[in-house]
A and B are shown apart, each in its own frame.
Chain A
Amino acid sequence: MEATTPAIAPGEPLSAAATMTRPSRFGDKAFEWLTLAMALTVVVLIILIGWQLWNGSAIAIKKFGFHFLVTSTWDPVADQFGALPFIYGTLVSSLIALLIAVPLSIATAAYLTELAPLWIRQPLVSLIEMLAAIPSVILGLWGIFVMIPWLRDYPFPWLKRLFGWTPFFSGPIYGPSMFAGGIIIAVMILPIITSVSREILRSVPDLQREAAYGLGATRWEATRIAVLSYAKKGLFGAVILGLGRALGETMAVTMVIGNTPQIAASLFKPGYTLASVLANEFTEATTDIYLQALFEIGLVLLGMTILVNLLAQALLRTIATTSATRAVQ
């Protein structure tokens, strides 16, 4: 192709024509190798993260074995380390967050793609992006000084009056609590679930909507039957992606969850998560085995988030390809 092109860039010396037919490829090779090396850092980083956490917790893994995951005592002074309260706290706070965030996010995504007047859509999207941009530590600050006092004074006593007979809303109200942690995580994951869900809904082919409207469906019916149920799998992927973020959320949770390693049914009681015990105790780990145990906590957290993220990617990938192939058909 190049050899048959007679044109030479104006101003180029004639020797350029020679290099055009038999170009020296050193620069090309060097640049390709350079970019390849940079791209391969993702492989290096994956290995690095796994190796560092594994290496850092090798002694603890050997010492505690599987019991680490099912022991509920966390007593660094007595050298007793069990991750169960943190695993429990992480799962419960994330579950609360999902229960709050999922309906709101998906309804918002549906509003943004299907139901809202056109002029309102872009401003709303921008606002949601701004919410996503708020640093975690600032939400935590707001959580400590605004959200928790408010929760303690209004919604919590009200919940206790209504549902106090269940174990989940019984007992004294402290303020910093599992429930507060769940709410702050919900705020953190609302933007991601909303924006991924919005992308999913936007990828639903218009033919779906047209078919529904053609059959006389109302706007909501078309949304429900032709769009939401069509995108079910992708929306599930968006939710799981949100779960992945929820599990690893650190600063804001640490500031509002109360940081007490206990397993309590009442959501008014303080809890602790894997990420927050790392944030709080890592620099205080005075003995080697303490530090090892914390590294093992990190390993558990990493394992959980990676598994959840893999699931999310698998779900999002299939929806992307099936919707693409269906659209082609």
Chain B
Amino acid sequence: MTMRLERAHNHTWRKIKSAMASGIAFVSALLVITPLGLVFFHLLINGAGSVNWDFFTKLPGPVGAVGGGMVNAIVGSLELLALAGAIGIPVGVLGGVYLAEYGSARINSVLRFLADVLNGVPSITWGMVVYGLVVLRFKGFSAYAGGLALALIMIPLILRTTEEVILLVPNGYREAALALGVSRWKTIVHIVMKTASKGIITGILLALARVGGETAPLLFTAFGNRFWNHSLSQPIAALPLQIFTYAISPYDDWHRQAWAGALVLVTGVFCVNVLVRILTRGRGASVV
């Protein structure tokens, strides 16, 4: 009798403990996403007022002056992304194809491992590498250097995601194409990569969104520019760089513009992420 009572009591206590643990875990999860909500909230209240026509159409004003915009930084960021993509996308995608389709298990595991190591390298070190490689050699900061630094960050990212999605393509697709006499490389390009294209594009978009917000590797490669960039061998402005410069400046108007720039940048990054989500949602149904 007492034993049964004890057991019942014990059981309630254990249930309470379980509920408490769930509660703590829930609060932890809330705390993890709190910064997201706070950052968003403050971006909106501090930045929304300064995102106006001038912001998208005007160059930065003279130092300390009120007004002006960031049009050169927005265009500069897009130019840098185009340069980075021109180098990083083909190298990353084709490298990923090799890992998924060719190579021995041994070599591939080494390459995969190296790509993972590269993904863990702090982004600022890429800036230093490109500084030594390009800036010192050609005696000047340039859009090329900035684009290259971003491309080097993209390569291992895209390589790994491409490999993963290509491995998801069922072998039957390859066998069917090969059995019809299609050559191996055409099978890979027209059948395998086409089947995995949504996943590959997803990986590319995520990599672009990631490097689009990078500041550290641009500090001593692209360097920033308060005016239009007329040649890719000249320093170029970038939105994250401009936000950084304005944020640590002593001027209130620049702080306002930094918030506005941050709001624009975050909106861009999140749009890409939403696009990716839409793409991956469709993947389950139409592909593989």
Query: Which residues of A are interface residues toward B (Cβ below 8 A)?
Result: 1-2, 5, 7-9, 12, 16-17, 19-20, 23, 25, 27-28, 30-32, 34-36, 38-43, 45-46, 48-49, 52-53, 55-56, 103-105, 107-108, 110-112, 115-116, 124, 126-131, 133-142, 144-146, 187, 190-191, 194, 218-221, 223-224, 241, 244-245, 247-251, 255, 275, 278-279, 282-283, 295, 298, 301-302, 305-306, 308-310, 312-313
Contacts and interface: CB of A to CB of B under 8 A. Distances in A.
Rank and list the top 9 A-B pairs by shortest CB-CB distance, nearest first. A248-B122, A135-B213, A31-B185, A107-B28, A111-B25, A35-B98, A309-B120, A220-B18, A218-B18
Interface string B168-204: 0000000000111111111011000000000000000
B129 interface: yes
B36 interface: yes
B25 A42 contact: no
B118 A45 contact: yes
A1 B155 contact: no
A191 B223 CA distance: 29
Interface in B63-104: 90-99, 101-103
A124 B266 contact: no
B104 to A, nearest CB: 12
25 contacts: A7-B179, A19-B181, A28-B184, A31-B184, A32-B102, A35-B94, A39-B103, A42-B115, A45-B155, A116-B26, A129-B273, A131-B35, A133-B210, A135-B214, A138-B43, A139-B35, A140-B247, A221-B18, A250-B124, A255-B244, A255-B247, A275-B216, A298-B124, A298-B128, A313-B116
B21 interface: yes
Is chain A's interface secondary structure helix, strand, loop, or mixed overall? helix
A305 B122 contact: yes
B236 interface: no
B99 A107 contact: no
A251 B155 contact: no
B128 A107 contact: no
B244 A139 contact: no
A124 B22 contact: no
Given A46-B118, A218-B17, A306-B121, A39 B128 contact: no
Contacts of A187: 35
B111 A43 contact: yes
Interface stretch (B54-62, B226-234, B255-263): B255-263
A282 B131 CA distance: 10
B269 A279 contact: no
A264 to B, nearest CB: 22
A305 B103 CA distance: 29
A136 B213 contact: yes
Contact of A45 (B101, B152, B213): B152
Contacts, number: 293
Given A32-B102, A39-B159, A43-B114, A52 B132 contact: yes
A278 to B, nearest CB: 5
Nearest to B248: A255
Given A115-B22, A136-B215, 16 more contacts: A7-B180, A17-B181, A38-B91, A38-B95, A104-B31, A111-B29, A116-B26, A124-B29, A138-B266, A141-B247, A144-B247, A146-B38, A241-B120, A282-B127, A282-B220, A310-B117
Contacts of B22: 111, 115-116, 219-220
Contact of B215 (A23, A126, A190, A251): A251
A58 B23 CA distance: 55
Contacts of B103: 36, 39
A52 B121 CA distance: 14
A108 B123 CA distance: 27
Nearest to B155: A41
A275 B240 contact: no
Contact of B181 (A16, A128, A248): A16
Interface in B130-181: 131-133, 152, 155-156, 159, 178-181
A302 B125 contact: yes
Contact of B183 (A28, A241, A244): A28
A134 B36 contact: yes
Nearest to A183: B35
Q: Which of A8, A41, A124, A221 has the most B CB atoms < 10 Å from its CB? A: A41
Contacts of B17: 218, 220
A133 B272 CA distance: 10
B288 interface: no
Contacts of A5: 179-181
A115 B19 CA distance: 9
B225 interface: no
Contact of B129 (A49, A108, A131, A224): A49
